[in-house]
């Protein structure tokens, strides 16, 4: 996979994250923290914390050569505003890091250790596509919950991003 394609996908990822976060901005604390059927992590807040934490871990593995041992603690983003600010910074860091990659780097193996301590090795571009797919899964879950609360994020398909771009 070419760097330009990966970069475009991470630009889309940031755009889609912002659409979901903007839709969630008006939630009450009760809605933000409520246990919602269908969310893999229980609440919108917990699902957001998990998805953001995963992006942080994978960025550190892929772009910094560091294998964190724990996910982002929920206490590190105690409010929606704190989570949103952290996520916007994370999206920027991911996009900047991906922009610096070469095609050769994308095709190279990436050695890392899981949070359980298991050594792994995968091709960098495949790991980066996994990061994008993981975010899509959790955005879709949250979009359903937001829609049930009357706060649909609207269409977050890649083709919509491309047409708006």
Q: Is the C-alpha dihedral spanning 129, 78, 141, 112 positive or negative?
A: positive
How far apart are alpha carbons 78 and 81 in whole angstroms? 8
How much is the pLDDT for 1? 83
Q: What is the pLDDT of residues 8-33, one digit of tens each?
A: 999 999 999 999 999 999 999 999 99
Given a cut of 90, is residue 96 above it in pLDDT?
yes
Q: What's the helix, strand, coil split of the chain in %, to 5?
A: 65, 5, 30
Tell me the percentage of the chain whose pLDDT exceeds 70: 100
pLDDT band at 141 (very low <50, low <70, confident <90, very high): very high
What does the DSSP assignment read for 30-59?
HHHHS--TT-TTSSHHHHHHHHHHHHHHHH
In this structure, are residues 143 and 22 in contact, taking their beta carbons and an 8 Å threshold?
no
In this structure, are residues 148 and 162 in contact, taking their beta carbons and an 8 Å threshold?
no
pLDDT band at 101 (very low <50, low <70, confident <90, very high): very high
How far apart are alpha carbons 68 and 113 in whole angstroms? 8
What's the mean pLDDT in 120-141? Answer: 97
How much is the pLDDT for 113? 97
Residue 68 makes CB contacts below 8 A (sequence gap 6+) with 56, 57, 60, 61, 115
Terminal C-alpha separation, the chain: 21
Strand, helix or coil for residue 121: strand
How far apart are alpha carbons 80 and 82 in whole angstroms? 5
Mean pLDDT of the chain: 96
CA-angle at 108, arms to 102 and 109, nearest 5°: 145
pTM: 0.94
Residue in this structure with the two tokens 């969310």, named with its chain if needed: 39
Extract the tokens encoding 78: 């105690």
Q: What is the pLDDT of residues 23-81, one digit of tens each?
A: 999 999 999 999 998 889 999 999 999 999 999 999 999 999 999 999 999 999 999 99
């Amino acid at each position: 996979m070419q760097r330009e394609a990966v970069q475009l996908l991470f630009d889309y990822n940031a755009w889609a994250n912002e659409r979901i976060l903007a839709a969630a901005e008006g939630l009450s604390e009760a809605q933000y923290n409520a246990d919602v059927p269908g969310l893999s992590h229980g609440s919108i807040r917990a699902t957001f914390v998990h998805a953001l934490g995963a992006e942080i871990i994978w960025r550190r593995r892929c772009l910094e050569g560091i294998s964190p041992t724990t996910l982002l603690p929920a206490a590190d983003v105690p409010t929606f505003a704190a989570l949103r600010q952290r996520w916007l910074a994370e999206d920027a860091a991911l996009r900047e890091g991906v922009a610096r990659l070469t095609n050769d780097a994308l095709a190279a193996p990436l050695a890392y250790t899981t949070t359980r301590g298991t050594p792994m090795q995968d091709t960098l571009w495949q790991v980066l596509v996994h990061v994008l797919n993981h975010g899509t899964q959790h955005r879709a879950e949250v979009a359903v919950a937001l829609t049930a609360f009357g706060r649909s994020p609207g269409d977050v398909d890649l083709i919509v991003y491309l047409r708006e771009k």
